[in-house]
Each structure stands twice: as structure tokens, then as C-alpha cells.
Copies of this chain bind each other. A is one copy, B any other.
Amino acid sequence: MRLSSYFLPLLKENPTEAQIVSHRLMLRAGMIRQSSAGIYTWLPLGHRVLRKIEQIVREEMDAAGCQELLMPAIQPAELWQESGRYDAYGKEMLRITDRHDRAMLFGPTHEEVITDLFRTSVKSYRDLPKNLYQIQWKFRDEVRPRFGIMRGREFLMKDNYSFDLDFAGARHSYNKMFLAYLRTFRRMGLTSIPMRADSGAIGGDMSHEFIVLAETGESAVFCDKAWLDADPLKETIDYGADLQPFVDRWTSLYAVTDDKHDPKACKVPAERLYEGRGIEVGHIFYFGNKYSKAMNARVTDETGAEVFVEMGSYGIGVSRLAGAVIEASHDDKGIIWPAPIAPFTLGVINLRSGDAACDAMAGDLYAKCQKAGIEVLYDDRNERAGVKFASMDLIGLPWQAAIGPRGAAAGKVELKARGAAGPAEELSVDAVIARLSAN
């Protein structure tokens, strides 16, 4: 993409309404614009990030045996009356009356819709287990939306729902998601730590919040420093095998939010205890037959008896992750995107647009990137070099290639990783292509 024709409205100043760094940087980098309170348009640059996050989530869900579907945004109130949550949900639910005076709502979550779908479609243990997911926009009418897309009203979630015949099956489904979540966030360049969460009336240990570390995070967290070096991608997971040993090993490492941290009871030695802050990006939750009982979702088991199906639900804040990654990865110049979710891999900076040699070399690099499948944004604007460097630092692409008159004469591009210390490397156009293709 050529920046001169890209819809990328950068802001020079920090918007006064933005209180946290991800909100400021997303506005300044032309990723989002507010449409109304807590409701945003995702501009092309932001949209690219959103789709990359979405795709990683999708791949890991598919790998864990989940199947994608898509439920509607607008739900009938009756289902929520049936589950008993319609009145309980309060003002965060956006309630709607349609032209025939039917009570509807914009779904804040989809337990009711999926349970209704399940009970009309599945009747036998032979059709279990099932784990169905969607990536869908939801709405929660926050009383005070803030922090940009981190606590917005309209937001993108991956939510899925597991259906099993019995508790052993439900635990296996839960364990799959536990491990899939660790992989998912790690693939985005994040260290995520599952923290035992309240599981409500059900009790037990099958509820975890996944928190990514970021200095600007909303929650204080305490964990074993072993978490900081943990790499869930090093393990190959066979989702058909018993996963309990893997989950037990991960959960044996201390990790709690401050409301659960008791310094006296904590057995981690002081030198191994990490104290920091974090942002919740996912939650997995086993809730047994809470909804299947309320909504009469039953299957027949091997003996022909009818049993309420065992369920769990699992959420990832897809749009929130875009902000969480920025909170975790930025400097005073702007965003530093982890490569897997960067909107483009390389930014080409033509230091003197209009100069024939610079234009030719930058154009050559741009064309060769496109041919090699390297996602590239080419700053071909008539702007000063300083403005171009500042723009590229702000939007935070993993690699920057600068081309000026001196380099063009010598056949050299200055290649630099965003955020890296030290001088740029001088490479030929072909060497840049080779380097980035290998990444």
C-alpha cells in the first residue's frame, strides 16, 4: 500500500480525551475513530490488526476441534427470561423493542442462543462432544465507557461453548481451551497468565482469567517468575490425549490477582515472586448444567436415560487485544507491533520523494515486497524525512527501510527493526527481501 493513497489520518497531538497509552496511540496512528461514546470505527490500519488477531484465534480454535458458526447480534428477550437472566442483567444490556413491540436485545453474550440451538438440534450422546465458537460483535451498555476500545460498548469477542455428556468430558473440554488460550496469546507475542477466578455458585477450580502483563494494566498481579519465561508453543499438544498433566503443571505455578494474593500464605520465595500489572484478555468457565437445566437442554445417554448436557463457555476479547498488545508493547515514539499481528511487516521510507534515484529504488523495493508476499506500506508522501520517521515509529511496523540519496547512489537500503537499539543495517534491495522472507 502506498501511504499517499492510504486512508490513514494520523494525529500530531495527543487527543485530550485519551487517558491511557493504547487509546492515545490508536487514535494518533489512525487505527480507530470514535463514532459515539464507547463506539468506534476501525480504520483500515486498525482493521488489519483486528483481522490478524481474529485469524490467530480462529486457527487455534480450529486446531482444538472447535467449529465456527455465527449467531445473530439481535436476540429475543424470551430466551433470557427462560434462563432467568433477563431481569438480572441490568442496564448493561441494550434492550430493544421491534416494530411489532417484541422485546429484543443486542447480545452481550450468547449462552441462551447457543443452548436454544443445541436443544433443538442435538438429542443423543452420540453427537457429543461439541464445541462451537463464533467471532461476533457484542454490546454492553457501560455506564461510563472509557479507555478507547479497552472498555468500549460495541466490541468484538470470540466466544465458544462446549457441550459434554458428563463432568469428565466437560473437564477435558475445559483443559483443551486452557491450553489453546495459552497458545493463542503467545502467538500474538504476549505472555498470558491464567489466574484462578471465581466460579460462582458452582465452585471448583474450573474458571480462569487470562491476564497479559502490561505496566499500565488494570489489575495488580502476583506470580512465580517462571511464568515470564514460559513458552506454551514449545509443547506439541495432542488434543485427543489426556491434558490434565499439562494443565496441572501450568496451574502449579503461582499466579493470582491482588484480591486473591495473601502475602502470608504465598509460598513463592520473595526472589521468585513477580509483582506487576496486567490486563484481562480471556476467561474460561465451566458452569455445568446451569443453562441446560434452566432451558431444558437434554440428551439421551448410553442407557437411554435423558441427562442435562454439561456446558462451559470461553471468551477472548478480540478487539480488546489490539489495545492490550499496545499497552504491553510501545515506547515513547509509538507502537511496537509483534510481527504476527502487525498491520504491515515493513515500512518503506522514501527520504526524498521526487528524487529520481530514491523514487526508483523505493519503487523497486515496494514492487519486490509485493511479489514476495511481504506486506509493505510505502511512505511516498511529500513530507520531510523527520515527519516520515516519526509516522513510521508511531504506527510501529516491525521493520523500517529508509532510502535516501546517498544510499540510492550506493545501492543500499537502511534496514532497522522498530524499537531496536543501534544503527541500521545497510543492505541491497534483494538482501532486504531475503531477510524479511526468512522471518
Contact = CB atoms under 8 A, between A and B. Distances in A.
Interface of A: 5-7, 9, 33, 35-36, 39-44, 46-47, 50, 65, 67-76, 91-92, 94, 96, 98-99, 102, 104, 106, 113, 116-117, 120-122, 130, 132, 137, 139, 141, 143, 153-154
A98 B94 contact: yes
Given A35-B116, A98-B141, A153 B70 contact: no
Nearest to A10: B121
A171 to B, nearest CB: 19
A47 B69 contact: yes
Nearest to A65: B5
A72 B35 contact: yes
A69 B6 CA distance: 12
B33 A120 contact: yes
Contacts of A65: 5
B116 A7 contact: no
B69 A42 contact: yes
Contacts of A96: 94, 96, 106
A35 B68 contact: no
A30 to B, nearest CB: 8
A76 to B, nearest CB: 4
A121 B45 CA distance: 14
B50 A70 contact: yes
Residue among A65, A73, A76, A92 with most chain B CB within 10 A: A73
Contacts of A122: 9
A343 B65 CA distance: 18
A43 B120 CA distance: 13
Contacts of A40: 72
A117 B43 CA distance: 10
Contact of A117 (B33, B36, B70, B94): B33
Q: How many copies does the complex hold?
A: 2
Given A36-B74, A39-B74, A73-B154, 5 more contacts: A35-B71, A35-B75, A41-B71, A74-B94, A96-B106
Contacts of A102: 36
A64 B122 CA distance: 45
7 contacts: A6-B67, A7-B121, A42-B69, A47-B68, A73-B139, A74-B106, A74-B153
A393 B9 CA distance: 51
Contacts of A106: 73-74, 96, 106
A7 B99 contact: no
A137 B35 CA distance: 17
Contact of A67 (B7, B41, B69): B7
Given A36-B104, A91-B99, A132-B7, A44 B73 contact: no
Given A7-B130, A33-B121, A143 B69 contact: no
A113 B41 contact: yes
B33 A72 contact: no
A71 B143 CA distance: 22
Given A104-B36, A120-B33, A121-B9, A143 B72 contact: no
Contacts of A143: 99
Contact of A41 (B69, B91, B139, B141): B69
A73 B154 CA distance: 8
Contact of A76 (B36, B50, B73): B36
Residue among A74, A94, A117, A139 with most chain B CB within 10 A: A74
A71 B40 CA distance: 7
Contacts of A35: 71-72, 75-76, 113, 116-117
Nearest to A128: B5
A154 B44 contact: no
